[in-house]
Amino acid sequence: MQQALAKPEEAAMTEHNKPPQSALYLDDLTVGALFVSAEHAMDEQQILAFARQFDPQPFHLSDAAAKDTLFGGLAASGWHTAAVTMRLLVTSGMPLQGGIIGSGGELSWPRPTRASDILHVESEVLEVTPSRSRPDRGMVKLRSETRNQHGEIVQLFVSKLVVSRKTP
């Protein structure tokens, strides 16, 4: 079974009004399957609150302080972008049976997330590998691009996920 959702521009939904999806097992996933999450609107208050609690660097805490940095203005912490990405994947982007359980990955932030950005996540299944030693699960390699309203990638995450199999 290949699950594909409409692109955000085709169905302007927020994570709060997106219809529920059926939970998927490893057996339901195929290489090339695409998933598109709902959207999340960033704003200055979210960026400041996250930065104060988790990443209190000047370019995350003040637009004025960030002006003379390589960001040239207020930028969300990459960890904030990662947290929003995870929420979007869990609530609307990757409906895995038993939840999204990571076992590693590679994360990059090619451009900053700004207070005016509206984010969504586009994910593609790259590999599906049943476990030989544990028949109740397998591994999925997933490429997730967090994009802003202009289609620019603000985060790229290639993850390895542990996914449950259907019971025989």
Please report where in the chains the tokens 């199999």 appear, as a residue. 165
Q: Write down all domains in the chain, each with its CATH number in brackets.
A: 26-164 (3.10.129.10)
Full DSSP string of 28-57:
G--TT-EEE--BEE--HHHHHHHHHHH---
CA distance linking residue 119 with residue 148, whole number of Å: 5
- In whole angstroms, give the CA distance from residue 11 to residue 26: 27
pTM comes to 0.87
Asked whether residue 47 carries a pLDDT value surpassing 80, the answer given is: yes
Tokens, residue 60: 């995350």
Asked whether 53 and 108 are in contact (CB, 8 A), the reply is no
Digit-coded pLDDT (tens) for 69-128: 999 999 999 999 999 999 999 999 999 999 999 999 999 999 999 999 999 999 999 999
